Structure 1
Amino acid sequence: MREPVTAFVGLGANLGDAQGTVRQAILDLGHLPATQLVQSSRLYRSAPVDAGGPDFINAVAEVRTGLTAPALLAALQQLEQGAGRERPYRHAPRTLDLDLLLYGDARIASPSLTVPHPRLRERAFVLLPLHELASERVSADELAAVVDQRIAPLPPTSSPA
């Protein structure tokens, strides 16, 4: 078995019960093979970027995984399919979007996977929740560069014990 790697996953949804879907997906990450959910950010509401449709619900989760980056990506895509994700066109509204943002310190450039995520540093809906979990991975300059993007944390909700 591989030595576990810390990875960060971006979560988003803007169709159906987006909050419920993102919350469930966070839990589902901890049930992936050889993967443990370490922590997740609070939920944020953000305006679509380069897309139409309703506001998104976003979060970032930190996992420790023994999966390779391509295997983790495949598992994330299976979770998306399980939530009814369709890809009718680029930037279409979605029931669930899971992006592999960071995989340890790896730099990967393949036809199916780019890590770090190519637009990670351009999106407030990724940088703010990532900063919440791992402030050392997001600079003040990066946060300042996305200050004009509309995003707000959602109030916490109580969950059953």
Structure 2
Amino acid sequence: MSERAYIALGSNVGDRLSYLRRALKALKEHPEIRLSALSSVYETKPVGLTEQADFLNMVAAVDTALSPHALLDVTQGIEQALHRRREIRWGPRTLDIDILLYGNVTMEEDRLTIPHPRMTERAFVLVPLAELGPDVDIPGTGRTVQQQVEHVKGKEGIQRCPTISLAAEFGLTAS
């Protein structure tokens, strides 16, 4: 049985767009993951550690029969293959991939928390997620994604990149 998961991708080191493309290609090539939809790409100001380059962020909707933990293994493997280093919390990174939602699953473990524990505070995640699933309920909040977007701060630091459309590159229609 397949579940719909939403995955955030971000990069602020080197060729940011290339890292997003390479991560999406790896997701698409996985035999148990189907890319279903891609949000627009957004350029966003860093959060937490603000003395670093701007990010490119986006969200992918995937359908998968993988368990949440197996999906995490895949995403972390992609990060490692693209030279992700976890040296400074909220610091610069070639690639960051986070599982935001996985069906209606809620879990809180040391290794994995779903929904992502800070997604409701992050406009750079919620704005692209709202393109793909505005009416998706965020478990435990009593709000849909669109309702949460209306309550989050920092939307002014997010700019859609109108000249970048990765959906067509991956055989998907734009959101």
TM-score by length of 2: 0.84
Structure 2, unaligned runs of 5 or more: 137-144
Shift of 1:24: 2.3
Count residues in correspondence.
159
Residue 3 of structure 2: aligned partner: 5
Residue 55 of structure 1: aligned partner: 54
Residue 81 of structure 1: aligned partner: 80
- Cα contact 2:127–2:149 (8 A) shared by 1: no
Shift of 1:12: 0.2
Give the alignment's Cα RMSD to 1 decimal: 1.8
TM-score by length of 1: 0.91
Residue 109 of structure 2: aligned partner: 110
Shift of 1:140: 3.2
Deviations 1:85-130, CA, capped at 9 Å, x for gaps: 0111211200000000000000011110000000111011100000
Residue 146 of structure 2: aligned partner: 139
Matched, 1:36 2:34: yes
Shift of 1:23: 2.3
Instruction: Give the 5 Å matches for 1:88-99.
Output: 88-99=87-98
Deviations 1:109-159, CA, capped at 9 Å, x for gaps: 111000000011101110000000011031335334225550010023477
Counterpart of 2:65, as a letter, is: G
- Cα contact 1:21–1:95 (8 A) shared by 2: yes
CA distance in 1, matches of 2:155, 2:15: 27
- Cα contact 2:6–2:100 (8 A) shared by 1: yes
Structure 1, unaligned runs of 5 or more: none
Counterpart of 2:147, as a letter, is: A
Residue 157 of structure 2: aligned partner: 150
Where 1:30 maps in the other structure, the secondary structure is helix
Shift of 1:63: 0.2
Shift of 1:29: 1.4
- The sequence identity of aligned pairs, in percent, is 39
Where 2:26 maps in the other structure, the secondary structure is helix
